[in-house]
Amino acid sequence: MENQIRPHLVLIPPPLKGHITPMLQLATILHSKGFFINIAHTYFNSPNPSNHPNFNFLPFFDGLSNTQITSKNFIDIASTLNTNCASPLKERLIHHKAKLEEHDEKIACIIYDGFFHFIDSLAKELKLPSIVFRTTSATNILTYHVCAHLHAKGYLPLQDSKSSDLVPELDILRFKDLPIFNLTNPHDFLHGISKTLSITPLGVIFNTVESLEDSSLNHLQHLYNVNLFPIGPLHMLSNESNNISILPESDRCISWLNNKARKSVLYVSLGSIASWEEKELTEMACGLVKSRQNFLWVIRPETVTEVIAWLESLSEDIKLGVAEKGCIVKWAPQSEVLAHEAVGGFWSHCGWNSTLESLCEGIPIICQPYFGDQRVNARLLSHVWKVGLEWCNVMEREEIEKVVRRLMVNQEGEELRKRAIELKHEIRLDLSGSSCDALNGLVKCILSGNV
């Protein structure tokens, strides 16, 4: 595209870290392919423009209340954003489109997160081509179809007695792995899903790779009959994950890791959303110390009001154990940590980004999913790819000590580590193979106006 005006793309992430990060990575990749990048974003959780001097930022009003933001009720947040953002975003896009047209430039395509289902009809109204970007696994998107099917067949609410049965339409999962399981109000969720599924995109971008999700991608292709672009793992392709953190990172942990033996450290981070009571943190601290393994533990500031005071309240032997074996930080440069040779295991909530980051470095996982797609990812990790340990998720020190030793010390953990390294090589082959082809296909599709 040299000597030509760069075609403009507008990328639209919702204001959630697990969604903004991969969208910015996608933006970086597409910028390197010659596109001019515009990021349309809400004021809440807005990315920092000074970290991305090559991008243009288009903020729009979100109308989220503070109560909603602190509630962490994502179904409510999603529904509010899909209502409140429609007209401010429309104005933004109309204004930007007109501005570009003054200079004989145009928007080649809108790439929006599937979380914002209203954008499908908005793009059509503005006669702009659009593509959906899915930031979860392809298998998770498949569960949406399955849940809608189960609903239509009168299976909901799911019965506890059937929780361990395999889902007939997707038999790698059990009913309890579905995002809908245990929801207090599955109907709100289904309502959101039905809107998401009614989107008729011409293309869907996935942050995944064929070697991990070939069968789910084929299944989706069959259902959607649209162009699917599995172009992950985006953090590897963009090479930029460290520049786009929302929270300040602690470099202290890297120097701490530098002094530890190979594969001797368990990295503990349960994501950017989940929070615990002090009692649970205390059980975690005791379990970790009793396992006698080194650990690097992320405790986000909002998780516990006073980390220092909480640490002080621990018994003397546990305090000593934490000081001797542990390093606690508020936020870690996760990709760098997982790539560090001292790290031998990850205790994770199995968010999709964390899952991919761990797989890319060949690090096996203790799976502690909480909600949504995390349970699907945990099942894939433990049952399908066989690089993760499913455990009882009971936050008690004895259980924690046992599971940490299973991963870090026992033969079982060694087997998982071997398999994780094999999978890492397969993913890296995909990076220069199928993901690269899918990326080139996407660029071609956008430039030819076939989206």
Provide the binding-site residues for ligand UDP, judged by CB under 6 A.
17-18, 21, 245, 269, 271-273, 298, 331-332, 334-335, 351-354, 357
Please state the φ and ψ torsions of residue 386, each to the nearest 5 degrees: 55, 45
- CA distances to 22, 123, 351 from 12, rounded to whole Å, are 11, 12, 21
Q: Give the separation between CA 24 and CA 45, rounded to whole angstroms.
A: 13
Q: How far is the CB of 232 from ligand UDP (least distance, A)?
A: 12
The residue among 122 and 311 lying less far from ligand UDP, judged by its C-beta, is: 311
Q: Give the separation between CA 383 and CA 392, rounded to whole angstroms.
A: 15
* Token digits of residue 399: 């259980």
- CA distances to 143, 234, 306, 322, 382 from 172, rounded to whole Å, are 11, 25, 42, 39, 11
Q: How far is the CB of 19 from ligand UDP (least distance, A)?
A: 7
Other residues' Cβ atoms within 10 Å of the Cβ of residue 166: 13
Please state the φ and ψ torsions of residue 349, each to the nearest 5 degrees: -85, -5
Q: How far is the CB of 34 from ligand UDP (least distance, A)?
A: 26
Q: How far is the CB of 441 from ligand UDP (least distance, A)?
A: 25
Q: Are 40 and 24 in contact (CB under 8 A)?
A: no
The residue among 258 and 315 lying less far from ligand UDP, judged by its C-beta, is: 258
Q: Give the separation between CA 312 and CA 320, rounded to whole angstroms.
A: 11
Q: How far is the CB of 430 from ligand UDP (least distance, A)?
A: 19
The residue among 287 and 351 lying less far from ligand UDP, judged by its C-beta, is: 351
Q: How far is the CB of 400 from ligand UDP (least distance, A)?
A: 19
DSSP SS3 for 332: coil
Closest CA to 442 of 46, 100, 32: 32
Q: How far is the CB of 169 from ligand UDP (least distance, A)?
A: 25
Q: How far is the CB of 245 from ligand UDP (least distance, A)?
A: 6
The residue among 57 and 371 lying less far from ligand UDP, judged by its C-beta, is: 371
Radius of gyration of the chain (CA): 22
The residue among 194 and 239 lying less far from ligand UDP, judged by its C-beta, is: 239
- CA distances to 79, 299, 327, 355 from 269, rounded to whole Å, are 28, 7, 12, 12
The residue among 140 and 293 lying less far from ligand UDP, judged by its C-beta, is: 140
Please state the φ and ψ torsions of residue 280, each to the nearest 5 degrees: -70, -40
Closest CA to 189 of 221, 151, 224: 151
Q: Give the separation between CA 132 and CA 226, rounded to whole angstroms.
A: 11
The residue among 332 and 360 lying less far from ligand UDP, judged by its C-beta, is: 332
Closest CA to 272 of 327, 348, 343: 348
Q: How far is the CB of 356 from ligand UDP (least distance, A)?
A: 8
DSSP SS3 for 207: coil
The residue among 130 and 272 lying less far from ligand UDP, judged by its C-beta, is: 272
The residue among 201 and 271 lying less far from ligand UDP, judged by its C-beta, is: 271
